[in-house]
Structure 1
Amino acid sequence: MIDGWSTVSSTVEYTGVRVLVRRDAVRRTDQSLGTYEYTESVDGVRVVALDDRGRIALVEENVYVCGQRLLMCPGGGCEPGEDPLAAARRELAEEAGIRAAQVELLTMMWRMPAGARTREHLYLARSLSVGEHHRDASEADMELRWVALEQAVAMCGDGRITEAGTLAAVLLTAQRTTAWSGRPPWVPTVARCRTRDRRP
């Protein structure tokens, strides 16, 4: 709880298979009252699987809630009581058939902090071996694509990648890895940065 804030009441308005909706009455530091409605669900994971050629694995699938196909890093929700790292390894193997000798945490992020109490754990996986995937029925339309990391960064900027966890994971991977060379696509060239000399 935020320092100086207190929860006056908390009510579960709806309970589903994977999510519940909660309404809290809260007293803030200045003693004003507020009402907050938000969802709670299991933590999620996304994994950037980076091979020795500087490519990352992306999966493309139909996402019903968004009403379109999305390109994403492999990932999903943690099982009850499952450690996020274990979930990351499981999802990577299930969706893409990939196992990794090295998996490191990139960061933890809040999915939608104003309306959801759900965290997403982002990982970078390296030293990969590729085998058979084990997708469930809801993932029957999923396709695996290998994309150069530099291209994936560009896709984050031009609207081809729009899922929040994937955006963050790809850009964090590009920030810390030397697997690709050249100027990062988000850094403008000197020519574009140069301003006109207005001295008399």
Structure 2
Amino acid sequence: MSLLEEKTLSTEKIFSGKVIDLQVDEVKLPNGKTAKRELIKHPGAVAIIAVTAENKIVMVEQFRKALEKTIIEIPAGKLEKGEKPADCARRELEEETGYDCESMVLLNSFYTSPGFADEIVHVYLAKGLKKKENAAGLDEDEFVNLMELSLDEAQQAIKEKRICDAKTVFAVQYIQLQEVLKS
């Protein structure tokens, strides 16, 4: 055991849901004492940075109950059991936006809140966007407005806190950096 590692002594499953599971672990700390850790288990997710030929960022606007407000986000979604992240990214892009793409390139993966959750988000860049005629639709409990924002409009939406989630701020900053590198 490393000097910082916590050894799990027991796990109590509290809740098992559609999106997350909640458990409480009793752990042995490096100093020999014990503590409780409340943990969220999540299957992982994908997020897609998609830019049209007109240099518009494809986004969706949707109500987020946890925040009690409507926000603007890049397309994203939860991994299904056994699903590869790249396949999930293509599926979510089509379902949420009606777009398909020539290629899907993994840019990075990050943990959203490692202090209490194991959720990992895989961020993809969709290249060669094209609208699909018979695109798969949204899940029955999903309601979104499709939006296409310029970089300036996205930056303004961040200032107005209409874009306020990490994956979308990351996406806008990624696109901004690409613009800077071009000049």
Query: TM-score under structure 1 normalisation?
Result: 0.80
In structure 2, the residue matched to 1:102 is: 103
Moved over 6 A (4+): 179-182
Cα distance in 1, alignment partners of residues 147 and 181 from structure 2: 18
Aligned Cα RMSD in Å? 2.2
Secondary structure class of the residue paired with 1:169: helix
Residues 1:83 and 2:84 aligned together: yes
Which deviates more, 55-64 or 27-36? Answer: 27-36
Cα distance in 2, alignment partners of residues 82 and 23 from structure 1: 27
Distance 1:49 1:180, change over 3 A: farther
Secondary structure class of the residue paired with 1:42: coil
Q: Of the candidates 166, 169, 178, which is equivalent to residue 167 of structure 1?
A: 169
In structure 2, the residue matched to 1:146 is: 148
Partner letter of residue 38 of structure 2? E
Query: TM-score under structure 2 normalisation?
Result: 0.87
Verify the 8 A CA contact 1:42 1:78 in the aligned structure 2: yes
Verify the 8 A CA contact 1:106 1:169 in the aligned structure 2: no
Identity %: 26
Verify the 8 A CA contact 2:70 2:162 in the aligned structure 1: no
Q: Of the candidates 131, 136, 140, which is equivalent to residue 137 of structure 1?
A: 140
Structure number, greater radius of gyration: 1
Gaps of 5+ in 1: 183-200
Distance 1:5 1:156, change over 3 A: same
Verify the 8 A CA contact 1:10 1:24 in the aligned structure 2: yes
CA shift for structure 1 position 48: 1.0
Residues 125-167 of structure 1: per-residue CA shift (max 9 Å, x gap): 121101254112222x311111112432343244120122212
Distance 1:125 1:150, change over 3 A: farther
Verify the 8 A CA contact 2:46 2:89 in the aligned structure 1: yes
Residues 1:31 and 2:63 aligned together: no
Residues paired across the two proteins, number? 180
